[in-house]
Structure formats: structure tokens, C-alpha cells
Structure 1
Amino acid sequence: MPTVSRTFSVSPMPHQVIDYLKDFGNAVEWDPGTQRCTRTDSGPIGEGATWHNVSKILGVTAELTYTLESLGSGNLVFVGKNKSSTSTEKIYVDAANTGSVITYRNELEMHGPIALFNPVLKLYFEKLANDTEKQLTSVLNRLPIEEKK
């Protein structure tokens, strides 16, 4: 199972980061692989909210249904599923002197014959994690800075 993790700092406070990231539709702005991400339910965003995500991975279009499995004041867990894979994205947000420290972890479980490609996928996801860190840092640092709550 390919797993990647990155830890980095951003300027916004943790509550701002969580408020922004809990809407997985924003993944089109910060996830380089995401092409479209549309909410499939309605109402306030909370645990159980769902999105249809279309990503391009190694030139292949992948469509997953993502669910916000866990929403806390300092963490989020999204689980995306289709018949060939399960992607678990865990995001931890801690307060820092000048904003937030984020740990982003993606665990990808492949199902069926595609699991044979896990070593190649691991290399690809390491590069994608680097790109995601850069893009996510840039997007979050564009949020207006609020004072600590």
C-alpha cells in the first residue's frame, strides 16, 4: 500500500485551515491530480459529506467518491473509494507561533490486479506529495490571516 506523508508550515491559524480544507471541493485548487471535485450531497459540511472526485493519475482518469469520515478542530479524514482503490487522506493541523503546522498523509490501497503496480505507484505518489505540499502551502498562505482565537 503506497503511503506518503508531508509536514509543513503555513501562515493561517488552524481553524482557518480546517474551515478551508473541510470542503473537499477545494481540492481542485490544492491537489495537482484533481481535475474536478463536486459535492454530491447538500447541507452544512460535516462528517458524512460526500464529493465526486475526478483525478488524472499517470495519464489515467480515476473517479472516486470521497466521504468526510472525521472532522475535528485539528484534523480531517477523507476516504475516497472506487472499485479498484481506496484513498485515505488524513490531515492534522496544529497551532504554531506564526500559524499552523500541517501533516498531510495519503494512504492508497489498490484492489485487484492493479495492486501489482504498488512499487511504481509509490514513486509516483512521492512526487505527487511534493507537488501537493507546494500547491497546498501556496493556496493556504493566500487565505486572509486572522488572529489566534
Structure 2
Amino acid sequence: MITVERTFLIEVPLDATMAYLQDFGHAEEWDPGTVRCLRIDEGPVRAGSSWRNTSRFRGRTTDLVYRLDSRGPRELVFVGVNKTVTARDRMRFEAQSATTTRLTYVASLRFNGLARLAEPFLRREFEALADKVAGRLPSAVRAHHSEA
């Protein structure tokens, strides 16, 4: 399994930060690997809501179905699956002040079958991707909050 973790401050209140990030469709704005992310169910976003995510990695595209696995008062957990990989994205939130949120983002990838053999060779690339997410996510949240 590959696990990457990044922690950063977002100059947006906690509730607004969580509201934005619980809609995984916004991944197009903050995840440089996401090409498209469309909701595949209806109604308010809640535990069990799901999205079809198309990502590009190493020049190839792949689709995963992501589900909001759980939504706690200070945590969101998404699980994405396809035949090759299970992805788990855990976001933990902490109010640093009335206007700033500390976000700890942990992404884990568990490959299935023969794809597991590639894990040691992919770790460095996933670390680089996590750095890009850390660079884009705070500004995407801020931009969305300033539009609201």
C-alpha cells in the first residue's frame, strides 16, 4: 500500500472548507490528476454519495467510483474503487481560528493482483502528486469561498 500525507492551512472557516470538500466533484479544481469527476447519484451530499472520477496518471486514464464513506464533525473519508486499485482519501479538519482551517489529508492506494508489484516504483510519483495537491487545494477552497 502507498500512503501519502500532507497538512496545510486554508484561510477559510472550517465549516465552509468541509462543505466544499465533501462534494468530491470539486476534485477537478484541486486534484491535478483528476480529468473529470461527476456525481452519479442525486440529492444532498451525504455518506453514501458517489462520483465517477476519471484520472490521468503516467499518461493513462483510469476510472474509479468514489463514495463518501463517512462524514464526521471534523472528518471526511472517501473510498474509490476499480478492478486495479482501492483508494482511500481521509481529510481531517481543525479550526486554527475563526477564519483558518488546518487540513490533514491522507491518501492511501492499495493495488490488487499483479498491480501490487508496481507499488515500490510508483511511490515517488504519488508523493509528487500529493505535493501538487497541497499546492492547489488551499487556493481552490479560497476561490470557491470568495465566490460564495
Q: Is TM (by shorter chain) over 0.5?
A: yes
The offset of 1:145, in angstroms, is 9.7
Per-residue CA deviations over 1:55-111 (Å, capped at 9, x if unaligned) read 001111110000000112211000000001000000011000241000000000000
TM-score norm. by structure 2 comes to: 0.95
What letter corresponds to residue 144 of structure 1 in structure 2? S
Confirm whether residue 14 of structure 1 aligns to residue 1 of structure 2.
Answer: no
4+ runs deviating over 6 angstroms: none
Distance in structure 2 (CA, Å) of the matches to 1:10 and 1:66: 24
Contact 1:67 1:78 in 2 (8 A): yes
**Consecutive unaligned residues in structure 1, runs of 5 or more:** none
Per-residue CA deviations over 1:97-136 (Å, capped at 9, x if unaligned) read 2410000000000001111110121111000000000000
> What is aligned with 1:135?
136
Could you tell me the percent identity over the aligned residues?
40
Distance in structure 2 (CA, Å) of the matches to 1:132 and 1:145: 21
The offset of 1:138, in angstroms, is 1.2
TM-score norm. by structure 1 comes to: 0.94
Q: How many correspondences in the alignment?
A: 146
**Consecutive unaligned residues in structure 2, runs of 5 or more:** none
RMSD, aligned CA: 1.4
Distance in structure 1 (CA, Å) of the matches to 2:29 and 2:121: 26
> What is aligned with 1:71?
71
In the TM superposition, what are the counterparts of 1:84-95 in structure 2 within 5 Å? 84-95=84-95
Contact 1:85 1:109 in 2 (8 A): yes
In the TM superposition, what are the counterparts of 1:1-149 in structure 2 within 5 Å? 1-97=1-97, 98-142=99-143, 143-144=145-146
Distance in structure 2 (CA, Å) of the matches to 1:66 and 1:47: 11
Distance in structure 2 (CA, Å) of the matches to 1:15 and 1:137: 14
